[in-house]
C-alpha cells in the first residue's frame, strides 16, 4: 500500500471510496512509536495496511463508526486511546446506536450500515485521553485539541514543528460542516473552528478530503461562514411557513447520497435544521407559529 507523505514522519493512509463516507482516511505517524490515528479506511484496505506497517498505538479522533470500524482488528496488539468524552460508548454497537440515531428504525438502519458496509468489529478502549494529552515521539509531538461541535468527543491534533493540524472531521468538504447528531452543536462547532484558526496551521489533513497545503486559513474561514450561509438559506425557505420536517425533506444540506441511506439522511437533516431553528428563534430572526416557522418581521 502506498502512503501519502504529509510532513516529516506523518503520512495519510488512503481510505476506500477515496476516503469518503462511509469510510475515512487514517493518519500514520512513523516515529519512535508507530501511531495510527483512526481505523476506518475500510475492510479491504485495513488488512493490506496492517500487512506492511507496524502499529504500536491506536488513537481515535472521535467515536463515529467511519473512524473506528476496524479497531477490533488491533485490539489485541496495540493500546487504543479514546477521547474521555466518548469512552462510555466506544466499541459498543448498541450504545453507539442509541447515541447516534433516534428511533428503532433509524437505529436498525444505522447498525446495518455500520456492520455490513463499514465492517465494524466490537472493540474496547484500553486508555483514554483529553485536552491535556500530548503524544511526544521525539521527532514528532502531537498535542490533543478538544474540538466539539461535530460530536462531543471530537479532537484535532497539532504538530508544532511542521505546523500541521490533523483536522479529522473538520474536513473542509464542500458538503460540510456536518452536525447531524442530537449531541452536535453549531455554537460549539464555531468555537472549535476559532480555536483551530488560533493555531494558524500551515497545512491541514482531514479524514475525508485529505491534505491541504495552500490557502489553509481562507479555507477555514470559508468553512466557518457556512453556518451563517445556511441560516440565510433556511430563512429564504421560511418566506412561507415551514415545519422542520418540511425543510428537512428538501435535503438542504445533503442533496446527494446513496438511496439506501435516505431514511438516515432525512433524520440527520432534521437534526441540523432543528439546530438552525433554535438559534434563529433565539436571535429573533424566526418565529415559531403552530408547529411551523416564519421569518420574523
Q: Same structural domain for residues 115 and 252?
A: no
Q: Same structural domain for residues 199 and 72?
A: yes
C-alpha 182/C-alpha 113 separation (Å) is 19
Q: What is the number of structural domains in the chain?
A: 2
Query: What does the pLDDT look like over 199-233, one tens digit per residue?
Result: 999 999 999 999 999 999 999 999 999 999 999 99
pLDDT of residue 166: 98
Last residue of a domain, one of 225, 241, 258: 225
pLDDT of residue 259: 72
Q: Same structural domain for residues 186 and 246?
A: no
pLDDT of residue 297: 83
pLDDT of residue 15: 97
Q: Same structural domain for residues 15 and 145?
A: yes
Query: Are 180 and 186 a contacting pair, CB within 8 Å?
Result: no
pLDDT of residue 5: 97
Last residue of a domain, one of 225, 242, 272: 225
Q: Same structural domain for residues 211 and 254?
A: no
Cβ-count burial 127-139 (b if 16+ within 10 Å, e if not): ebbeeebebebee
Q: Phi and psi at residue 111, in whole multiples of 5°? A: -65, -40
Query: Are 201 and 177 a contacting pair, CB within 8 Å?
Result: no
pTM to 2 decimal places: 0.95
Q: Same structural domain for residues 290 and 220?
A: no
3-state secondary structure (DSSP) of residue 173: coil
Domain ranges, residue 269: 226-295
Last residue of a domain, one of 184, 210, 225: 225
Q: Which residues of the chain have pLDDT under 70?
A: 258
Q: Same structural domain for residues 102 and 148?
A: yes
Amino acid at each position: 500500500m502506498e502512503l501519502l507523505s504529509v510532513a516529516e514522519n506523518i503520512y495519510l493512509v488512503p481510505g476506500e471510496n477515496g476516503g469518503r463516507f462511509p469510510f475515512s482516511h487514517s493518519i500514520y505517524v512513523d516515529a519512535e512509536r508507530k501511531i495510527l490515528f483512526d481505523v476506518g479506511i475500510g475492510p479491504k484496505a485495513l488488512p493490506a495496511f496492517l500487512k506492511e506497517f507496524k502499529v504500536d498505538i491506536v488513537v481515535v479522533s472521535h467515536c463515529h463508526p467511519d473512524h473506528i470500524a476496524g479497531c477490533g482488528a488491533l485490539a489485541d496488539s496495540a493500546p487504543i486511546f479514546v477521547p474521555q468524552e466518548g469512552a462510555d460508548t466506544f466499541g459498543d454497537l448498541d450504545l453507539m446506536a442509541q447515541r447516534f440515531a433516534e428511533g428503532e428504525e433509524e437505529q436498525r438502519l444505522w447498525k446495518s450500515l455500520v456492520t455490513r458496509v463499514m465492517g465494524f468489529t466490537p472493540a474496547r478502549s484500553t486508555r483514554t485521553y483529553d485536552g491535556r494529552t500530548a503524544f511526544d515521539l521525539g521527532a514528532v509531538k502531537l498535542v490533543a485539541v478538544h474540538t466539539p461541535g461535530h460530536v462531543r468527543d471530537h479532537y484535532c491534533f497539532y504538530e508544532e514543528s511542521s505546523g500541521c493540524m490533523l483536522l479529522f472531521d473538520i474536513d473542509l468538504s464542500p458538503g460540510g460542516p456536518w452536525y447531524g447528531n442530537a449531541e452536535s452543536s453549531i455554537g460549539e462547532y464555531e468555537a472549535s473552528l476559532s480555536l483551530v484558526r488560533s493555531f494558524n496551521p500551515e497545512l491541514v489533513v482531514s479524514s475525508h478530503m485529505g491534505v491541504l497545503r495552500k490557502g489553509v486559513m481562507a479555507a477555514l474561514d470559508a468553512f466557518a461562514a457556512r453556518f451563517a450561509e445556511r441560516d440565510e438559506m433556511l430563512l429564504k425557505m421560511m418566506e412561507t411557513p415551514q415545519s422542520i420536517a418540511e425543510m428537512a425533506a428538501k435535503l438542504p444540506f445533503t442533496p446527494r447520497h446513496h438511496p439506501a441511506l435516505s431514511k438516515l439522511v432525512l433524520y440527520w437533516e432534521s437534526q441540523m435544521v432543528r439546530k438552525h431553528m433554535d438559534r434563529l428563534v433565539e436571535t429573533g430572526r424566526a418565529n415559531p407559529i403552530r408547529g411551523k416557522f416564519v421569518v420574523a418581521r
